[in-house]
Structures are given as C-alpha cells and as structure tokens.
Structure 1
Amino acid sequence: MNFFRTTLLLAAMTGLFMAIGYLLGGSGGMMIAFIFALGMNLFSYWNSDKMVLRMHNAMEVDAHSAPEYYEIVEKLAQSAGLPMPKVYVINSDQPNAFATGRSPQHAAVAASTGLLNRLTYEEVAGVMAHELAHIKNYDILTMTVTATFAGAISMLANFALFFGGSRDREGGGLGIIGTIALMILAPLAASIVQMAISRTREYEADKVGAEICGQPMWLASALAKIANAAGRTANVTAEQHPETAHMFIINPLSGQKMDNLFSTHPDTQNRIDALQSLQSEWYGGQSPLKVSSGATLGASQRRGQMQQDAGSDGPWGGGAARKDDNQPGPWG
C-alpha cells in the first residue's frame, strides 16, 4: 500500500510537471519537463533527505554531544523495532521536529533546539515517537519526495512570466492572464497534494507514536506546548523553504485555527482530543488528563501524570529518569 501510494504520488507530480511544461513550451516543453521529472524522481529517491536536512542547516549529533536526546531516540527505536536513525539538531527557537529518509534503514530524525529546551524528557519522547512512526509507516519517502517536487513546481511556475512573455511576443503563449493564473494555480495544486498527504498521515503517526512510547498523553502535552509557541516564534529557514512545511510535526509557517483544506496539518486540538480518547480507551475508560492547545499542563498536573505513568509499559518500563520541571532542557 505504501509503495502504491508513493508511486501514485510520483505519477501525479510528474503529470503536473509535464502539464506546466506543455503550457510553457508546447509539446517540446512537455518532453523537456518529462525528462527533467524522471531525473528528479531518481534524484529525490536517493538525495531528497540530504537536501531537506541541508536546507534547515541540521547538525548531526550522537550519544556524546546530545546524550539525553540520543538516548530517547535509541530507546524508542528499539521499542518500535526500527534501526537506529541518524539524529540531528536544528538551531531554531521554534519548537518543532521532522523525520526524513527513503526507508527505515536510511532514515533521520531532527528536532529543534527550541523543542529540546522547552519540553520535558517525556514530551520529547512523545514527539520523537511520532517521528519514528512516520519512519515505520514509510511516510518519510512520500513526504520528502513531495517537498522536492513542490519546490521544483513552484520554481517552474515562477519562470512562467518570463517564458510566457517571450511566447506572447511571438504571437502565442498563455497570455498575461493565463501566465498569472499558472503562476498561482501550479504551486497551489502542489500545495494541495502536500496538505492531503500530511493531514492523512499525522493522525496515524500520532496513534502509532503513542503505541511506541506507551503514553498518548506525552505527545498530547507536547503538541499543546509546541502549538502554543510555534505561532509566536518564527522559523526563518522554514519560511525560506515553505515546501518542507508538511514534514514538521506542527506547521512551522503559521498557526492554523481551522481543520480545513488549506491547512498543512490537522487542527492541533483535534489531534490532542484523539490522543485523549486513546488514553481513555487504553486505561480502562478512566477520564484522561485534559489538555488544550491554548494551555500546557501545569507543573503539579505533570508530576501527577508522571506518577501515573511510572507503572506503565513502554520503553521506560517501571520508570525512566525524570526531569524536574525547573531544570533546563538538554540544550539549556
């Protein structure tokens, strides 16, 4: 199913690329776009993960340079039955994270310094479990290739004004209205594909991530904190490369208030509600600790939740090293 979904995505993006080529250069333009798209498919499969990490100036870390963060990923990878991915840090105050790669054997996870500083040990575990769920579900190839194609389509559409204007002078072409429409509609079509892919996979990754770490509320609390801070903290690199926005756990460009067609991510409160329902289902119908995207768990509530978690299953079994609420994050 994942192979079919990726193949369908590549076919759709290639078709869109060829259509733009035809509008800009007729049959010759379509053939050039087709050849370019084939090359992009091969390049994206082997190198798109490296491109995305480079775009965001991600720095690889290990057990010596980032012991807590690396330990979290290592334990969760073992729990999920996955090979250990490469671990990266992004120097950004905005709390966020993403996963990339073409397969579980060639995967990487990246978290921002803002996320590592603001979240507790358990909340970071919830976020990284979500990212490992994307790896386990083979979402990473689909999402990374989509980012590469979306960027190329936007770039090609921006050329429309130049090429369209040249063809207008030769008596053909789209005309100024058609050219402007192409510049708007082509990136929009690519964005809709990105949104559809991201939105349909985030809920599933939340669920599988909760299964990996054993605690839905860890991710629910993390999502509330991230959403609360992300809308108020600029991610300069993401703004420069908006085609990668769908890869992050929370939209890095702007806070979205509605779960609508034009949001790269589902509404955060809807995701939190789904995780709270999962918590209630797993633990005997008990009323879960309520979290909203407008507020984070209070210190006393978090300590109570951690005490409840101490006897639970998951990679930490009967208890992991807990970080006091007043202690700085691993990068503090």
Structure 2
Amino acid sequence: MNHRGLQVRMALVGTILFAFYLAIATVAYAAFNIPLAIVLIGSFGLVGIQYVLGKKMALWTTGAKDMPEDGQYAQVHRSVERFSEEMGIEKPRLMVASMGVPNAFATGRRGAGVVVVSEELMSILDHDELEGVLAHELAHIENRDVLTMTIGQSIAMMVGIAVHWIVLFTGERSLANYFLGYLAGIVAQMFVMVFVMAISRYREYIADADAAQVIGTGDPLARALEKISRGAQASGNEVDDSVAALCIFGGAERLLSTHPPTEERISRLRSY
C-alpha cells in the first residue's frame, strides 16, 4: 500500500528531527571541545543503540513472551500469516503479554517486526475484532512508521538531556540551577515531541484505513476500539509511557496525545 501523504510527512519530520540532532552534535563539538570524530560516531551510534534498546525495552516493560503457534493462539497465527502475505511483508514475531489493559502494539521494522497482544485484549474481543487489531498493527510495520516513531522519541529524549546539561554547565552550580536545567530539559523534549506528534496521529488513521482495506470492512476494528476504550476505563490502568505511543489505544486523550480521538477513528472506520 502506497501512502504518499504519510511518506512525505515522515520525510519532513525526519528532516526536522535530524536538524535537532545535528544541533546537539554542534553544541557538543563547539561548547565542550569534544573531537568531531567522537561527536559523529557517538551521536549516530547512540541513535542505533536507542533504537535497539527502545525495541527491547518495550518488550521487557510489558513482560512479553513468545506466542505459541498451537492451542488457543493457532487462529491468531493463521490470521497474521494471511494478512502478512496480502500486505507483502514477512510475518512478524508474535508475542503475548499481561499489560493490565486490553491493548496491542507493533515494534521493529519490516523483516524484523514484532506484534505484541495483551491477554486482556484477546479475552474481550471476538475473533473478527481481533483480526482488525492485528491488521492495524501489521499496517504500521508495512508503512515503516514504527521506526520513525521510535527514533523520533529517542531524539526528543536526547535533546531534553542535552538541554538539561547545557543549563547545568553554563550556569552556577546550585540546586536551583539543577532544577532549572531539569525543567528546561522537559520543555525541550516536549517541544521536539510536537513534531513527532505531527505524524503520530496521522499514522493511526492510515493504519486504520489499511486494516479496513485488508479485512474488507472497518466495522470489526471500530467495534474493537469501542471495547478497548471501555476496557481501559474499567481497569483504571494505563500502559507504560515507553510503549503508549506504539499501542493501538494510547490511553487518556490529552493535548500532546499520540493518538487521535477514539470517537473520530470509529466514525471514519464505519464509513469505509
């Protein structure tokens, strides 16, 4: 599936994020007299490390375990195999986790993707609704937007840390300056995350549309989102912030939410 709008947005946001990243490297080189070679190797190496750790951290945080291919999960594997073949991607690794809320998320990239489904999700959804969720997560892997989100969050975190230390090293060594640096780091990280949000909500709409196209209707996923929303409210729990942006349901909707309003997603799905 070719989504020119999503590709253009990812390219634009990626360029802006790279500019932030380059700014960090420039400050490290100019202000702290760190050799340029070390700055370049360290900065690009850190992005790679952050990507690998981000994927592993998401799986570790949720306690995800490999999903057996037999028994109660056999039908899930067959559905994912069918959808993967239709989308032209390699079947991702399937894992199951007890997340405290009904949810699911995808991480990794094409050829090395992972889809994690919570036990709570499978307990409340009918199979066609679960297929809608699975198709949605596979669409994220196919569209390569998971990689952009993971790297974007990593760069935002790095900018926040850099601003924090810049404030500390350029000001007085005091407790007040430490907290000033901490607050400045948070604001800087939130500012960079605004650009990540520019594609985050859009990519959810695209993945919803792709899921509806693969299944032939948007109704199963719409019903799944209704159940997921009710289940999350009833549990009173939210997924960890480290994986919330990757999940099909992001939890409480707020100004900097990574997900569009659930009601709007359901309305669009039912129009397909």
Above 0.5 in TM-score? Answer: yes
Residue 67 (structure 1) aligned to one of 69, 74, 77 = 74
**Could you tell me how far apart the structure 1 residues matched to 2:42 and 2:237 are?**
31
Structure 1 residues 224-282: Cα deviation after superposition (integer angstroms, max 9, x where no partner): 1111222343556x33xx2432211111xx421x7xx522111011011111111xxxx
**Could you tell me how far apart the structure 1 residues matched to 2:162 and 2:198 are?**
22
Residue type of the alignment partner of 2:218: P
Structure 1 residues 162-191: Cα deviation after superposition (integer angstroms, max 9, x where no partner): x634542379xx967963552331121232
Aligned to 1:255: 252
Q: State the Cα RMSD in Å.
A: 3.3
Residue 168 (structure 1) aligned to one of 167, 171, 181 = 171
Do the aligned residues in 2 keep the contact of 1:101 with 1:141 (CA within 8 Å)? Answer: yes
**Could you tell me how far apart the structure 2 residues matched to 1:181 and 1:25 are?**
24
**Could you tell me how far apart the structure 2 residues matched to 1:270 and 1:29 are?**
51
Moved more, 265-274 or 50-59: 50-59
For the structure 1 residues 33 and 177, does the alpha-carbon distance in structure 2 shift closer, same or farther, using more than 3 Å as the test?
farther
Residue type of the alignment partner of 1:189: F
Do the aligned residues in 1 keep the contact of 2:25 with 2:43 (CA within 8 Å)? Answer: no
TM-score by length of 1: 0.68
**Residue 20 of structure 1: how far off its partner (Å):** 5.6
Residue type of the alignment partner of 1:245: A
Aligned to 1:149: 155
TM-score by length of 2: 0.81
Moved more, 182-191 or 197-206: 182-191
Do the aligned residues in 2 keep the contact of 1:150 with 1:243 (CA within 8 Å)? Answer: no
**Residue 117 of structure 1: how far off its partner (Å):** 0.9
**Residue 221 of structure 1: how far off its partner (Å):** 0.2
2:13 matches 1:16: no
**Residue 150 of structure 1: how far off its partner (Å):** 3.6
Do the aligned residues in 1 keep the contact of 2:9 with 2:199 (CA within 8 Å)? Answer: no
Aligned to 1:94: 101
**Could you tell me how far apart the structure 1 residues matched to 2:234 and 2:214 are?**
30
Of structures 1 and 2, the larger Rg is shown by 1
Residue 58 (structure 1) aligned to one of 29, 45, 64 = 64
**Could you tell me how far apart the structure 2 residues matched to 1:136 and 1:186 are?**
31
**Residue 81 of structure 1: how far off its partner (Å):** 2.8
Residue type of the alignment partner of 1:268: T
User: Following superposition of structure 1 onto structure 2, how do residues 209-228 of structure 1 map, counting pairs within 5 Å?
Assistant: 209-228=211-230
**Could you tell me how far apart the structure 2 residues matched to 1:265 and 1:184 are?**
21
Structure 1 residues 122-171: Cα deviation after superposition (integer angstroms, max 9, x where no partner): 111000011111112121211222233344444555x54xx634542379
**Could you tell me how far apart the structure 2 residues matched to 1:45 and 1:177 are?**
29
**Could you tell me how far apart the structure 1 residues matched to 2:237 and 2:42 are?**
31
**Could you tell me how far apart the structure 2 residues matched to 1:63 and 1:169 are?**
59
Structure 1 unaligned residues grouped into runs of 5+:
279-332
Residue type of the alignment partner of 2:216: G
Do the aligned residues in 1 keep the contact of 2:58 with 2:242 (CA within 8 Å)? Answer: no
Aligned to 2:118: 112
Secondary structure at 1:102's aligned position in 2?
Answer: coil
**Could you tell me how far apart the structure 2 residues matched to 1:155 and 1:57 are?**
27
**Could you tell me how far apart the structure 2 residues matched to 1:156 and 1:93 are?**
34
Do the aligned residues in 1 keep the contact of 2:83 with 2:214 (CA within 8 Å)? Answer: yes
User: Following superposition of structure 1 onto structure 2, how do residues 282-293 of structure 1 map, counting pairs within 5 Å?
Assistant: none
Seq. identity, %: 30
Structure 2 unaligned residues grouped into runs of 5+:
none
**Could you tell me how far apart the structure 1 residues matched to 2:231 and 2:100 are?**
9
Aligned to 1:276: 270
Secondary structure at 1:277's aligned position in 2?
Answer: coil
Higher helix share: 2
Residue type of the alignment partner of 1:247: L
Secondary structure at 1:188's aligned position in 2?
Answer: helix
